[in-house]
Structure 1
C-alpha cells in the first residue's frame, strides 16, 4: 500500500532526524492517511478512499466530495478518483443540456 493521498497526491517527504549532539540521520515524514468512506451527492454512491486528514478538512471546506473533485487538478488525483471526477463531469453536462 503506497503512502499517497488519493485526493491531493500528498506523499512522504525526506528529511533529517537531528540528535542532541547534532548528528543527522535520514528519515521519512509520512502523511497522516486515514481510510474513509466519502459520499457523492450527485452520483448517489459512496467511495472508500485513503486520504490525508488535511484533504479531509479541504473536502469539508469546499462543501463535499463533488465540489472538491470538480475543482481539483487531474495530476493530483489517483486513477480511481479521476474516473469518479469524469463521471461527475458527464452528469453535470447532461443535467445542463
Structure 2
C-alpha cells in the first residue's frame, strides 16, 4: 500500500534530521494518512478512502465529497478516486436532465 493520499496526491517528502552539533542525516516526512469512509449524497453510498488529515479538512470545508470531487484535478486523484468522481458527475448529469 503506497503512502499517498487518494484525494490530494500528497506523498512522502525528504529532509534532514539536524542534531545539536548540526550533523545532518537524511529522513522522510510521511503524510498523516487515515482510513476514512466518506458519504456521497448524490450516489447515496459510502466510499472507503485512505486520505490525509489535510484532505479531510478540505472535504469538510468544501461541503462534502461531491463538492470536493467537482473541483478536484484529475492528475492529483488516485485511479479509485477518479472512478468515484466520474460516477458522481454521471449521476449529477442524469439528475439534472430528469428535472
Cα RMSD, aligned residues only:
0.6
TM-score, normalisation: structure 1: 0.97
Count of matched residue pairs: 97
Structure 2 unaligned residues grouped into runs of 5+: none
Which aligned segments of 4 or more residues in structure 1 are displaced greater than 4 angstroms? none
Distance in 1, matches of 2:42 and 2:96, equals: 13
Instruction: Say if 2:57 is the partner of 1:57.
Output: yes
| Secondary structure at the counterpart of residue 10 of structure 1 | coil
Aligned to 2:66: 66
Aligned to 1:20: 20
- CA deviation digits over 1:21-54, x for unaligned, max 9? 1011000000000111111010011111100000
TM-score, normalisation: structure 2: 0.95
Aligned to 1:86: 86
